[in-house]
Chains A and B, each alone.
Chain A
């Protein structure tokens, strides 16, 4: 989904948040249900996270967010929890792809993350390619996604896109 995202519930994490931290391996072998996975999201980084996080919240990460395993259960657990977007200084490649495939916006911008403090609100407009921090009255550009990926995100992910259009996002109509 690429509507405007506005949240003041930001959850801050540091650098190198691995997929082992986002969802420990032991849970991905128990279930494929996003709601069940969500109960254990980020638990080795913050055991209280799944209780604190609410629908529509945003995760703020440092460098190399989502490094490690290719498990799609990592972004799936965040989707299951209702996380609306992940903003980080940088992302590991597979996590980034997986998140987009599940319709979870992932935004890479060092400056926004550096400028944020707890209590800030974020306004994200993926279509316009802009993020705004109202406290600083500052707007930051987002590096645009290739159009077919933006369309996929708009359709809520890869499977949802296929169901809607009967083709994969990179296949010509």
Chain B
């Protein structure tokens, strides 16, 4: 019997045989933490009493969640990160360079077959490149800083076979919102979810990153896509023989969907799995539209939004916030003329980073306000007041809604 992709990777990383249900201790290829989680990890590492991290080239730090700092207290935590990075010789991506989950793949820290861990739940994003990547808390991350290894329970894999061809204006975000709605916010808890089928094969790595990013919104440990030509195109075109594909493995479940008639989807307040077609939400007025985050702020996301709003104006009373995922994305969008389009339409372009996604800065919602956002969570209080509401949707739906001032199906714009 063959192995799932995750079993293969964990077998390799634990120098033994990793079967579903086993607890293995695996080598970690890269570990990341950001300004929301690194301070606790650095403190825990300090408490271990160790002087040097196991390998300073395999630890990456990011100041992206609340960046630039908006308070003195946070500035002190940022400084603590900078001095730890300096003292240990660790690479730190500072203010304005971008969101961790964009930079990790973009800057070449993720390769097929790697074990990548991160002190952030959306670390599951990197499965898009055939890596086993999962989110952890700060103590586990400190243990990796110390030893380069960590225990994992080898997860069962749920396989989603996505067949057909996506209709126009239906995006990878709509695919993953639909699957989260179908599976439920805890439907894949502790499991690995593998995405396959003709829709995934036809999807760019950008789209696969969006899909894997939200695997955790169904409770999954990681999301993963088998490697193919597109994986290696993203990695620079060189096929290095690092193929990670599961063959005749045993799956916890296999679900097949034909998504040829999928409509744009939206997750309504206040749960990620409260999903329906945009066409069924009725009239919902919005105060803020957000195009940003590790889910959807790559060049292809900015491009579709720019195409939709070119020559038009953002609706009166709506704040349309655009937060490119990284400096590279920002520059490419600038060169492509998208930034000019956004500004001419009356949108606000913020510096690369996490934006208002987790309720820290750059667009906190007041009580009673409503946002439509390309981010990944709409829990109570996520983007500000516990009396505000967040709808999660694709870049096209967000752009369409910014133009009309109400939640709008992009197919009609």
A contact residues vs B (CB 8 Å cutoff): 16, 18, 20-21, 24-26, 28-32, 44-45, 63-64, 67-73, 75-76, 90-94, 97-98, 101-102, 146, 148, 157-159, 162-163, 168, 170-171
Instruction: Evaluate whether A68 and B379 lie within 8 angstroms (CB atoms) in the complex, with A29-B36, A32-B43, A159-B142 already known.
Output: yes
Extra 10 A-B pairs, beta carbons < 8 Å, given A24-B381, A162-B146? A25-B36, A25-B65, A67-B185, A69-B121, A70-B137, A76-B40, A98-B140, A159-B44, A163-B49, A170-B23
A79 to B135, CA, bound (A): 21
CB distance from B23 to the nearest CB of A (A): 6
B25-82 interface with A by 8 A CB criterion: 25, 35-37, 39-40, 43-44, 47-49, 65-66, 71, 73-74, 77
Q: How many chain B residues have a CB neighbour from A under 8 Å?
A: 50
Interfacial chain B residues near A24, Cβ < 8 Å: 359, 381
The answer to whether B360 touches A159, judged by C-beta atoms less than 8 angstroms apart, is no
Instruction: Evaluate whether A90 and B189 lie within 8 angstroms (CB atoms) in the complex, with A70-B136, A72-B137, A159-B48 already known.
Output: yes
The answer to whether B186 touches A70, judged by C-beta atoms less than 8 angstroms apart, is no
CB distance from A21 to the nearest CB of B (A): 6
The answer to whether A97 touches B136, judged by C-beta atoms less than 8 angstroms apart, is yes
- From B65, B137, B185, B379, residue with most partner A Cβ within 10 Å: B137
The answer to whether B37 touches A71, judged by C-beta atoms less than 8 angstroms apart, is yes
The answer to whether B377 touches A72, judged by C-beta atoms less than 8 angstroms apart, is no
The answer to whether B189 touches A92, judged by C-beta atoms less than 8 angstroms apart, is yes
Instruction: Evaluate whether A30 and B136 lie within 8 angstroms (CB atoms) in the complex, with A16-B271, A20-B382, A25-B359 already known.
Output: no
Interfacial chain A residues near B146, Cβ < 8 Å: 162, 168
- Closest 5 pairs (CB-CB, A-B): A98-B137, A72-B137, A101-B139, A64-B186, A18-B379
Instruction: Evaluate whether A171 and B121 lie within 8 angstroms (CB atoms) in the complex, with A20-B382, A64-B186, A94-B137 already known.
Output: no
The answer to whether B377 touches A93, judged by C-beta atoms less than 8 angstroms apart, is no
A97 to B57, CA, bound (A): 26
CB distance from A165 to the nearest CB of B (A): 12
Does B394 interact with chain A (Cβ within 8 Å)?
A: no
7 interchain pairs (CB within 8 A)? Answer: A16-B379, A28-B36, A29-B73, A64-B186, A76-B40, A92-B219, A162-B143
CB distance from A24 to the nearest CB of B (A): 6
Q: Which of B36, B137, B380 is the one whose CB lies under 8 Å from A97? A: B137
Q: A45's closest neighbor in chain B, by CB?
A: B380
Interfacial chain A residues near B74, Cβ < 8 Å: 29-30
The answer to whether A170 touches B151, judged by C-beta atoms less than 8 angstroms apart, is yes
Interfacial chain A residues near B119, Cβ < 8 Å: 70, 72
The answer to whether A29 touches B381, judged by C-beta atoms less than 8 angstroms apart, is no
CB distance from B299 to the nearest CB of A (A): 26
CB distance from B70 to the nearest CB of A (A): 9
A20 to B3, CA, bound (A): 36
B116-141 interface with A by 8 A CB criterion: 118-121, 123, 135-140
